[in-house]
């Protein structure tokens, strides 16, 4: 067992070794439960988990109204219904839940209901996983009460992060015609070996869309689920490592797990480990009222997308999708890829372009490596195009998908800069200057603008 596996086992399953698990447990009004295949524990009582619902409306965007299945308060059955469901060690008062609530109410007059199950989502992780079925059962009671009051299941939309995505799945599994589930980096640990019915999948709602930001097949690498789980799955930056979080998630996990074990400071450890995992909620929130269309494109994998091989939206603009809130079941489905900006704060979405460089050197034996950047006439800073890993030959054609923060008003003027690499054999055998026969710029947002220089 590796160090990281051992430390994370202690982190997520502390206290389980001495726990005796009964064969089943029953709770009045919610039914009886047995350990599910792939899981080890039974859910705790609904009283312990204490699932709570807070209703927000455009007239009162800040003031919460506590509701329940027996008291729907000022719930409006004629308006859309959105439920926001947090995940492990989180709560409904978290800043991201508050921000998402406000953005939803800016978008449309609706019922926004935040779900708090912080009484049952703490360590050990395995117990929080087991408790998700109780949270889902209580949510179903609330939704059924709304249906009894005249609401339609098709107007209901569950937005769940991490374990909250799987909670949404359990709601939809036993609630016919649920309109939509948005899974925000659905939890991976303990859900790779589970049955399809025990994790988010396309059968859980009429439309299931998923954003992956910390996906990995093992907990050593990330907290999210990398597999496609919905009708459409978005993979920003490849779906595993986000640009503001660094790339070596395993080292971050190891250090955070050790800090937790040595100091037992759960809050600090969870915060440092969750950057990639939390990115999904920030992207989704930004997508609600974003000025950027945030288009994502079908592709075989992210590396192919980066190389500019997947840039078409089709003649009817139905071969690509807006990632996040404005995703549609009427557009192309499957795995879609896009890039996000590097900033910690919004906007996270920019404008994507395909840039193609055709080299033109007199000597066919000439080659070089270096850093190539591009600058549009209205940009203040250059955008990285190619790094030192790319070998340019005398007549090579190289393409790359890039992302910039602002949409250029025109493509009339661009600047290409080249800096020779000195890291490979001190630059020996590499040309100091490089010429290009042509530069092609394709606006991936509209496909109406393509300029060749």
Task: Give the number of other Cβ atoms within 10 Å of residue 163's Cβ.
Answer: 28
**318 is a catalytic site residue:** no
**251 is a catalytic site residue:** no
Distance CA 368, CA 432 (A): 8
Task: Give the number of other Cβ atoms within 10 Å of residue 302's Cβ.
Answer: 20
Q: Among the options 54, 92, 162, 290, which is catalytic? A: 162
CA 261 to centroid of chain Cα atoms: 28
Q: Render 299-336 in DSSP notation, one character per residue.
A: -S-HHHHHTT------TTS-SSEE-STT--TTS--EEE
Burial class (CB in 10 A: 0-12, 13-18, 19+), 263: exposed
Residue 399, token pair as written in the block = 């393409």
Residue with tokens 């020996």: 428
Residue with tokens 């930004």: 286
Distance CA 424, CA 433 (A): 16
Q: Among the options 90, 116, 185, 443, which is catalytic? A: 185
Q: Collect all residues with Cβ–Cβ distance below 8 Å to 263 and sequence separation of at least 6.
A: none
Question: Strands, E, within 126-270: which ranges?
Answer: 156-161, 180-184, 207-211, 232-236
Tell me if residue 224 falls in helix, strand or coil. strand
Q: Collect all residues with Cβ–Cβ distance below 8 Å to 358 and sequence separation of at least 6.
A: 395, 396, 397, 436, 437, 438, 439, 440
Q: Collect all residues with Cβ–Cβ distance below 8 Å to 7 and sequence separation of at least 6.
A: 254, 257, 258, 261
301 marked among binding-site residues: no
449 marked among binding-site residues: no
Q: What angle do CA 166, 170, 171 make, to 5 degrees?
A: 115
**410 is a catalytic site residue:** no
- Cβ atoms 298, 310 nearer than 8 A: yes
Q: Render 73-132 in DSSP notation, one character per residue.
A: TT--TTS-EEEEE--TT--TTSHHHHHHHHHHHHH-S-EEEEEE-TTSS-SSHHHHHHHH
Q: Among the options 161, 166, 277, 348, which is catalytic? A: 277
204 marked among binding-site residues: yes
Distance CA 190, CA 86 (A): 18
Burial class (CB in 10 A: 0-12, 13-18, 19+), 174: exposed
> Which residues line the annotated binding site for Ca(2+)?
199, 201, 204
Which residues belong to the active site?
A: 162, 185, 277
């Amino acid at each position: 067992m590796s160090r990281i596996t051992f430390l994370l086992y202690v982190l997520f399953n502390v206290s389980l070794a001495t726990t005796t698990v009964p064969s089943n447990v029953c709770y009045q009004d919610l039914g009886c439960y047995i350990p599910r295949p792939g899981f080890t524990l039974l859910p705790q009582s609904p009283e312990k988990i204490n699932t709570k619902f807070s209703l927000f409306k455009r007239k009162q965007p800040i003031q919460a109204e506590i509701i329940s299945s027996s008291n729907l308060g000022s719930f409006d059955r004629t308006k859309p219904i959105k439920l926001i469901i947090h995940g492990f060690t989180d709560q409904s008062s978290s800043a991201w839940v508050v921000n998402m609530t406000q953005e939803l109410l800016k978008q449309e007059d609706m019922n926004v209901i935040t779900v708090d199950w912080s009484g049952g989502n703490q360590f050990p992780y395995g117990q929080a996983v087991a408790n998700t079925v109780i949270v889902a059962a209580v949510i179903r009671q609330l939704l059924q009460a709304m249906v009894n009051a005249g609401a339609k299941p098709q107007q209901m939309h569950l937005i769940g992060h991490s374990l909250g995505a799987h909670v949404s799945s359990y709601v939809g599994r036993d609630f016919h015609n649920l309109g939509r589930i948005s899974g925000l980096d659905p939890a991976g640990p303990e859900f790779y070996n589970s049955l399809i019915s025990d994790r988010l999948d396309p059968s859980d709602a009429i439309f299931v869309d998923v954003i992956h930001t910390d996906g990995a097949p093992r907990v050593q690498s990330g907290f999210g689920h990398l597999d496609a789980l919905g009708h459409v799955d978005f993979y920003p930056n490849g779906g595993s490592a986000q640009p503001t979080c660094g790339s070596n998630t395993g080292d971050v996990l190891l250090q955070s797990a050790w800090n937790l074990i040595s100091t037992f400071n759960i809050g600090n450890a969870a915060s440092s480990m969750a950057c990639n995992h939390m990115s999904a909620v920030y992207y989704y929130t930004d997508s609600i009222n974003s000025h950027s269309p945030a288009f994502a494109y079908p592709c075989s994998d992210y590396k192919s997308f980066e190389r500019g091989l997947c840039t078409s939206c089709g003649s009817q603009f139905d071969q690509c999708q807006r990632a996040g809130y404005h995703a549609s079941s009427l557009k192309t489905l499957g795995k879609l890829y896009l890039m996000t900006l590097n900033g910690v704060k919004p906007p996270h979405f920019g404008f994507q372009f395909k840039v193609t460089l055709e080299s033109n050197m007199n000597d066919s034996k000439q080659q070089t490596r270096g850093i190539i950047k591009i600058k549009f006439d209205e940009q203040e800073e250059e955008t990285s195009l190619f790094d030192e890993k790319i070998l340019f030959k005398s007549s090579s054609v190289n393409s790359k998908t890039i992302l910039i923060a602002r949409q250029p008003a025109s493509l009339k003027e661009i600047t290409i800069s080249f800096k020779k690499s000195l890291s490979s054999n001190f630059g020996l055998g590499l040309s100091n200057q490089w010429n290009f026969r042509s530069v092609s710029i394709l606006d991936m947002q509209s496909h109406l603008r393509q300029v060749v220089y």
